[in-house]
Amino acid sequence: MTAEEDVNGIAWWIGWNFWITIIGITLIVATIGFMVVDQAGQIGIITFFGLLAGFGIYFWGTRVVNANYEELLNRFVSQAERSAARGIDVAEAGTYSLTRGNGKSPPFVKPSRTYRTTTLVVTGTSVNINQGAKYNMASREAGSGGTNRELFYDQITAVDSHQDGNYSTLEIRTAGGESIEVGSGATETVDAAISAVRKRLRDVKSGRNMSMGQRTTQQQPQDGSSTEGQSTAGTEASTGTRSSGSDSEGGTAGAESEPEPKRECLSCGDRIAPDVDFCPSCGAGSPFEPGTETQSAETGESSDTEEERDSSPPVVAEAAGSVERRTEFDSSTARKLCRVLTDESADEDEVRSAISEAVERLETGAAVSEAVKPADRRSTVEVYENIKRDLDRQQGRLPSAIEPLVDRLIRTNRKLEQQEDDREAVIGEAETVCEAAARSGSVSFESRDAEGRLSELATALQREDVVVTEPSTPIESIAETIDRQARPSSGLSRELIDGLRSPDDESELEATIRESVEVLDEYAETREMLSEIGPDDVQRRLDSLDRELTTQDTPVYSHLADRVRELEALLNDPESIDDIQLYAIYQEISYYDRTLIPRLSRSLSGGESDDVDELLSTVRGRIEDIRSEFVSVRPDHNHSIPKHFLALAEELSADAEQELTTRPQRAAGVLLAADAVLDHVEELYERNEYSVMLRRLRG
């Protein structure tokens, strides 16, 4: 089973979709919870459990992603390496995959969303660069390389690396001035690729120099400057081959024989040809002799020919190579300098650039070291400000990196100085407090310094040996101030102020205060009662009364209608009416509506004793009015008792209707009794209305 088949696709999708998973699971759980529970009060709890379920499922998905992404990435890299090495003899080549991740991942997901890899296949004659291979980790889809380029070693002029944090870049420069850069987060892989390419370059260029030496030696017999034996020896030393036949075969047999197996250099460990005078990798002379630094004199010549100058490593290169092997570099500048000095293919511009960069770094470091030299533990803000000014004049990353630290030191020292000033001020105030406590005799201090005394005073306060009280103001002074500012005019308020200002007779003052408290309570009750009546309530009563007065055309009704209009005009002018007047208007129209008009109606109908039918209609109309005005529209009242008396009034009206034809006088009396019952029902509702208002105000 492959890695893709072994991965749970649903869990993988969930791990890469944070918000969709959280919101989706929350909505699903909330919907199911609402369908099952069907209680609005449980919305918060259901949503909370939905969020927990969403986070749990998403975390399960991230565990699946984090557990399988490395295997998928390794398979992708292996596939890219196979594609890059297609058609190349891999046995004699080295393959290096430089992989980097791009794209922001969801929370708790370790891999990047997208990976790109560049594969380098280093052979004995060229470097093959395969770029463009891409792998989408979220969808687990891979794309093959877009470009495949082959660079022969005679085209390569320099190989360098740059490091920015955990990211390393391999740079290959060609003879045509082109620069190819490949990056990866795996620094060890980049270093290994650089070492392999440089080693191949040294081998190729060393072999080319020896071939040039062979051609020079073979040309010497034609000039008559060497014997046949010397020519043969020179050929053997230059080409790295040995003669396998007799002396009569000479250089021909040596040139056509097969090369012997390579031997290991005792200085660097690389395997090289057995008959060379120095190691092309590390530059050591006599690489097969331990402890020897001299070159082999196999040719017996000590001339300054071009061959010896090319094969003999300079002291600088040998020293730089030794330093590079023994040192683990943290600086890309130092690593670049050593590699350029040991690289035989480096040109003058590369060496000059590396040395200039190193010198610039050294000068900047020396200047920064000189600038921060005055800093120590006792340095003040002025010292750090001088250091900052010196750093501002320097160029480079080192001064720029140190400047924020100096700024932080300046801010910290300023805070320390401010805290020291505050501490001295607090100590001064503490000394004042302790001296006052000592003078009062409340505390006997044993310590001499302010901090110790303050600690003793705090301990005394905790044990309540010393009590801090607020200064009291005499009640006489308060009464005098109130009398001067408020100017009380009522008799009771004058008695209260005079009693507080001159509290000679305590019993009289107590009686005055008690009476004042009772008056205040009564005032509070009155204010509460007045607050229950609003302009809207009064307006409704006026409208109802006005409609009822228009039904009769009598002088009394006409006068009452005029009075209603006067009260309505007074109500429409809020500046000329207060709460007490509003309450009085309400009581007046309530009297008209509940008492006066019903009695006038009865008196008018009483003069016509024979018109019992009209009285019956009036009683039934009042019953319906009470039901529509109170029972139906006021659900907050207790209607049990009023309904009982309404039922009694209905029974009386029914009895009167039965007696209407036979005994009209008795029917009229029954109807008057029913009318009186209705009066009491209305009064009962009116009394109950105040208690309902109080309950509404109290919640």
* Same domain membership, residue 392 and residue 506: no
Q: Are 520 and 533 in contact (CB under 8 A)?
A: no
In a domain, 439, yes or no: yes
Query: 430-446 pLDDT, tens per residue?
Result: 888 888 778 777 778 88
Domain co-membership, 94 together with 127? yes
Give 96's strand partners.
120
Indicate whether 464 and 485 sit together in one domain. no
Where does residue 87 fall: left (phi above 0), alpha (psi -120 to 50 degrees), or beta otherwise?
Answer: left
pLDDT, tens digit, for every residue of 248-305? 333 333 333 445 666 767 666 666 767 656 565 565 556 666 544 333 333 333 334 4
Shared domain for 631 and 542, answered yes or no, is yes
Burial 269-305 (b: 16+ CB within 10 A, else e): ebebbebbbbbbbbbbbbbbeeeeeeebeebeeeeee
* Confidence at residue 218, expressed as pLDDT on a 0 to 100 scale: 42
**Residue predicted with more confidence, 328 or 118:** 118
Residue 506, both tokens = 């305590």
Q: Does 449 lie in the same domain as 424?
A: yes
Same domain, 390 and 422: yes
pLDDT at 176 over 70: yes
Residue 461 lies in a domain: yes
Q: What is the pLDDT of residue 310?
A: 42
| Packing angle of the helix pair 612-626, 664-698 (nearest 10 deg) | 20
Residue 150 belongs to domain with CATH number: 2.30.29
In a domain, 273, yes or no: no
Residue 567 and residue 574: Cα distance in Å, rounded?
Answer: 12
Q: Is the pLDDT of residue 163 over 70?
A: yes
Same domain as 144, residue 103: yes
Q: Is residue 348 part of a domain?
A: no
Same domain for 554 and 479: no
Q: Is the pLDDT of residue 160 over 70?
A: yes
Q: Where are the beta strands (DSSP E) in 410-453?
A: none
> Over 80: is that where the pLDDT of 507 sits?
yes
Q: Which of 53, 60, 48 shows the shortest CA–CA distance to 16?
A: 60
Is residue 45 assigned to a domain?
Answer: yes
Residues 540 and 629 in one domain: yes
Mean pLDDT for the stretch of residues 25-42: 75
Q: Average the pLDDT over 110-117 and give the result.
A: 88
> For 641-667, what is the mean pLDDT?
82
Mean pLDDT value of segment 542-569: 81
> Taking residues 21-50, what's their average pLDDT?
78
Tally of domains in the chain: 5
Q: Please tell me whether residues 555 and 637 are part of one structural domain.
A: yes
Domain boundary among 446, 469, 492: 469
Which of 659, 664, 657 lies closest to 616, judged by CA?
Answer: 657
Asked if residue 131 is part of any domain, the answer here is yes
pLDDT in tens, 560-572: 888 888 888 888 8
Q: Which residue has the higher pLDDT, 13 or 252?
A: 13
* Complete DSSP assignment for 93-129: -EEEEEEEEESPPPTT--S-SEEEEEEEEE-SSEEEE
Which of 423, 442, 469 is at the close of a domain?
469
C-beta neighbour count of 371 within 10 angstroms: 21
Mean pLDDT of 6-17: 86
Which of 54-68, 95-109, 127-141, 318-332 shows the lowest mean pLDDT across its residues?
Answer: 318-332
Asked if pLDDT for residue 371 goes beyond 80, the answer is no
Those residues whose C-beta lies under 8 Å from the C-beta of residue 90, and which sit 6 or more positions away, are 121
Question: Are residues 552 and 690 located together in one domain of the fold?
Answer: yes
Q: What is the pLDDT of residue 603?
A: 55
Which of the listed residues 138, 166, 186 is the one where a domain comes to its end? 186
pLDDT of residue 286: 65
Residue 496 placed within a domain: yes
User: Mean of the per-residue pLDDT values for the chain?
Assistant: 74
Looking at the fold, whether 546 and 688 belong to one and the same domain comes out as yes
Range of the domain at 51: 3-66
Long-range contacts made by residues 201-204, C-beta under 8 angstroms, separation at least 24?
A: 201/153, 201/156, 201/159, 201/343, 201/345, 202/280, 202/281, 202/344, 203/124, 203/280, 204/124, 204/125, 204/153, 204/154
pLDDT attached to residue 238: 31
Classify residue 148: in a domain, yes or no.
yes
Structure tokens at 695: 């309950």
d(CA 199, CA 219): 31
Whole-model pTM: value is 0.34
- CA distances for 481 relative to 474, 478, 495, 512, 693, angstroms: 11, 5, 15, 19, 40
